[in-house]
Structure 1
């Protein structure tokens, strides 16, 4: 597994290393950059969006609104191969509905909740290897 994490704020990386024992190695690297800028330049087969903000004015805290603009979704659709996966969770029902309408224009949308749970468990177990999630 090869994981690239993109973080906008270098302070978050310092905190993750100091307080959460985050280690970077050949399987996991952290890039300090704007996430949307990174995906515009990247070429990945699997993209897992865990994009959050602490901006109190944002419509949705996770994921950040800018990642669900038509431009961003078009870029993501070009990056992900036919067999690739875009996995994103939203906590706000309205935002989930809005995002699913936009994503359906570019991706096959699965409403298979059993599959969703399996994918979620896969990412949680994969990230736990790197972040020691309990």
Structure 2
């Protein structure tokens, strides 16, 4: 028995029941220099796992009977960015996972150009082989560190209407993707009406530092949380002011019918957005010289 297979069984026995262990099947393992990528099937869902040793069971999941339906709340929350720019023409996503978000955006915006950045080639392989992820002439995945890709894109003067930072394993974000210098590079890639969507922590000792860092670079931003998610979504624009929440209700109504088949009720999003700090505003900004993300989390 492979190690990952044995460990998943052990975790399920110690945290659940023998029946749960018997029902969850490891259907694939892909090794890489970064981690073992494991695919399991359980209760009609296929899931991708990164951190088997730590019991992280929530990287990417797909409903086998309805692959379009989004399962995780944070994934649905990410589409709040469309309230700010409902017709993105150029999209950048850092972090592939199973490819759920880029494939959904591809279906919604078939004419948009999309760059997806993923550092781990094993993740790309698994996404294509097991989660229906596909590239096409307007949708390309780049196997490279997101910091490197964004630096190079900035030097070329590339601009995006919709940027999503989703290099998040559930308990870890690479520290070089949290610093002020990195976010400044990201900001230069946004068009005037562009939107940055960052999937990150709803709580941790990192929360205060991360929040003041985003505020330092972007000024006011919208914090988006839902009670059934351990994630928060940061929504930031390149301008000095944010649109009023009331102004986001009309695009929510316009988008509702298109997003509802994916399980996204975007009508409930605008009232949940807040630009009021709920963090220690005196916390230290994260920089390339000071970014102890692993210790703070």
Q: Give the TM-score taking structure 2 as reference length.
A: 0.34
Cross-structure match for 2:181: 71
* Residue 75 of structure 1, CA deviation: 0.8
Is 2:159 the counterpart of 1:44? yes
Mapped partners of 2:116, 2:199: distance in 1: 17
Mapped partners of 1:19, 1:75: distance in 2: 33
Identify the range of structure 1 (87-96 vs 37-46) with the bigger mean alpha-carbon deviation.
Answer: 87-96
Cross-structure match for 2:138: 27
* Residue 10 of structure 1, CA deviation: 1.0
* Residue 28 of structure 1, CA deviation: 1.8
Cross-structure match for 1:9: 120
Mapped partners of 1:10, 1:70: distance in 2: 27
Number of aligned residue pairs: give it.
114
Cross-structure match for 2:292: none
| Higher fraction of strand | 2
Structure 2 residues without counterparts, runs of 5 or longer: 1-111, 226-244, 263-297
1:89-100 alignment, distance < 5 Å:
89-93=199-203, 94-100=205-211
* Residue 92 of structure 1, CA deviation: 4.6
| Higher fraction of helix | 1
Mapped partners of 2:174, 2:127: distance in 1: 20
* Residue 53 of structure 1, CA deviation: 4.2
**Preserved CA contact (<8 Å) 1:100 1:109:** no
Structure 1 residues without counterparts, runs of 5 or longer: 55-59, 129-134
Mapped partners of 1:27, 1:67: distance in 2: 26
Structure 1: 4+ residue segments shifted above 3 A: 111-115
**Residue in structure 2 matching 1:85, options 195, 198, 204:** 195
1:118-129 alignment, distance < 5 Å:
none
* Residue 106 of structure 1, CA deviation: 1.8
* Residue 17 of structure 1, CA deviation: 0.8
Q: Give the TM-score taking structure 1 as reference length.
A: 0.70
Bigger RCO of structures 1 and 2 (CA < 8 A, at least 6 apart): 1
* Residue 91 of structure 1, CA deviation: 2.2
CA RMSD of aligned residues (A): 2.7
